[in-house]
Amino acid sequence: MRAFVTGAGSGFGRAIARRMLREGWTVVATDVSVADLVGLPDGLPGADARLSLLALDLRDPGTIEAAARVANEGGPIDVLVNNAGYAVFGTQEDADLAAIASLFDANVMGTARVTRALLPALRAARGSVVQISSIAGRMVFPESGFYAATKFALEAMSEALVVENAAYGLRVIVIEPGAFDTGFAARATRASRPRPTDGASSDRYALWDARKVAVLSPPQDPDVVASAVWTALASGPRFQRVRVGEDSERILNLRDSLGPDGWVRFMVARVGGPADESPVPTPDVVLVATDNALRSERPFMLARAARDAGMLDDWSESEAGRQALVRLE
**What is the spatial distance between Cα 285 and Cα 279, in angstroms, rounded to a whole number?**
12
pLDDT digits 0-9 by tens, 15-69 = 999 999 999 999 999 999 999 999 999 999 999 999 999 999 999 999 999 999 9
Given a contact cutoff of 8 angstroms between Cβ atoms, the answer to whether 300 and 286 are in contact is: yes
Q: What band does 148 get if pLDDT is binned at 50, 70 and 90?
A: very high
Residue where a domain stops, chosen among 188, 209, 244? 244
pLDDT digits 0-9 by tens, 106-125? 999 999 999 999 999 999 99
Provide the pLDDT confidence category of residue 300 given band limits of 50, 70 and 90. confident
Indicate whether 308 and 181 sit together in one domain. no
pLDDT at 290 over 80: no
Q: What is the rounded distance in angstroms from the CA atom of residue 281 to the CA atom of residue 92?
A: 29
292: pLDDT strictly greater than 70: no
pLDDT tier at 71, thresholds 50, 70, 90: very high
- 24 belongs to a structural domain: yes
pLDDT band at 301 (very low <50, low <70, confident <90, very high): confident
User: Residue 53 and residue 63: Cα distance in Å, rounded?
Assistant: 13
The pLDDT-based confidence of 329 (bands split at 50, 70, 90) is confident
Beta bridge partners of residue 31, listed in sequence order: 55
| CA torsion through residues 141, 142, 145, 146, sign | negative
Residues 23, 61, single domain; the answer is: yes
pLDDT surpasses 90 at 243: yes
In the DSSP assignment, the letter for residue 245 is: S
Residue 298 sits at φ, ψ, to 5 deg, of -55, -45
Among the candidates 187, 220, 244, a domain finishes at: 244
pLDDT reported for residue 307: 94
Full-model pTM: 0.95
Q: Do both 49 and 170 map to the same domain?
A: yes
Examine the domain organization and report whether 240 and 260 are in the same domain.
no
Provide the Cα torsion 135, 61, 112, 123; round to 10°.
Answer: -120
What is the pLDDT of the chain when averaged over all its residues? 95
Same domain, 162 and 138: yes
pLDDT of amino acid 296: 63
Residues 53 and 201 in one domain: yes
Asked whether residue 62 is assigned to any structural domain, the reply reads yes
**If you count them, how many residues does the chain have?**
329
Residue 327 has pLDDT above 90, yes or no: no
CATH number at residue 235: 3.40.50.720
127 within some domain: yes
Domain identity same for 201 and 296: no
**Rg of the chain over all Cα atoms, to the nearest angstrom:** 22
| Residues 200 and 286 grouped into a single domain | no
Note whether residue 317 is domain-resident: yes
Determine the pLDDT at residue 291. Answer: 60
Count structural domains, the chain: 2
**Residue 249 located in a structural domain:** no
Distance from CA of residue 25 to its chain's centroid?
25
Q: Using pLDDT thresholds of 50, 70 and 90, give the confidence band for residue 289.
A: confident
What letter would DSSP give residue 146?
H
Q: Are residues 226 and 266 in the same domain?
A: no
Residues 81, 246, 17, CA angle at the centre, nearest 5°?
25
Question: Which residues are designated catalytic?
Answer: 147
Q: Give a yes or no: residue 251 inside a domain.
A: no
Is there a domain that residue 85 lies in? yes
CB-neighbour burial class of residue 296 (10 A; exposed 0-12, middle 13-18, buried 19+):
exposed
219 and 290 part of one domain: no
* Burial environment of residue 179 by CB neighbours within 10 A (0 to 12, 13 to 18, 19 or more): buried
pLDDT at residue 293 greater than cutoff 60: no
Assess whether 117 and 196 both reside in one domain: yes
Kindly tell me if the per-residue pLDDT of 285 is higher than 70: yes
Q: Of the candidates 201, 224, 244, which is a domain's last residue?
A: 244
Give the residue numbers spanning the domain of 285: 256-327
In a domain, 124, yes or no: yes
Same domain, 272 and 170: no
Query: Given this model, what pLDDT does residue 288 score?
Result: 83
Q: Which residues of 201-221 are buried (b: 16+ CB within 10 A; e: fewer)?
A: beeebeebeebbeebbbeebe
